[in-house]
Amino acid sequence: MSSHLCVVFIINLECSTCRGHCIIVNEPTTLRRHAEARFAGKYRKWAKANSFTSKLPGDVAAEKKKVAQAQQTIDAHVTERKISERVIPYSDQLFRKAAIEWLIATDQPIQALEHPRFKEMVDVASRATQGVKIPGRKATRAEIMRMFKNHLTRLKKKLMFHLLE
């Protein structure tokens, strides 16, 4: 059975530009941050004189931002269509297909299409002139709770009326 021993050497260096006032880790990112904090002007002057691209973190970020701003976006070429433009004309065949797909997707019994409340819902929706807004879960739950409370209130009034007779 052999075992391997990994030894990592971290070399601390004194900055020659700061004249021994700083001890830094020999790591490119750390060195760049140190250079930016202590002598960014000297570094940029040297980089310009030697036709060298600055690798200081702030300069790299500024260059990325400049490139991103120069790149064209498709926003100017995209137009948003209104809901009324996307409405598909009604046909019995299309409704039948949508109803059957709804039955399958929601695991409804076939008799659901014959239920009077389903027919009422379709009649109400058919009168919509600009599409139908379907409520979300929270709104549906709140409406069910409101309807239930109203039903209990009416039932209580009815029972109280019969007790008084």
- DSSP class of residue 112 equals G
> Residue 153 and residue 15: Cα distance in Å, rounded?
82
pLDDT tens per residue across span 36-83: 877 888 888 888 899 888 888 888 888 888 888 877 777 667 777 665
Provide the Cα torsion 105, 110, 113, 118; round to 10°: -70
- Residue 101 binned pLDDT confidence (cut-offs 50, 70, 90): very high
* Residue in this structure with the two tokens 């790149």, named with its chain if needed: 71
Segment (H or E) for 20: none
pTM: 0.40
Q: What is the pLDDT of residues 23-38, one digit of tens each?
A: 666 677 777 788 787 7
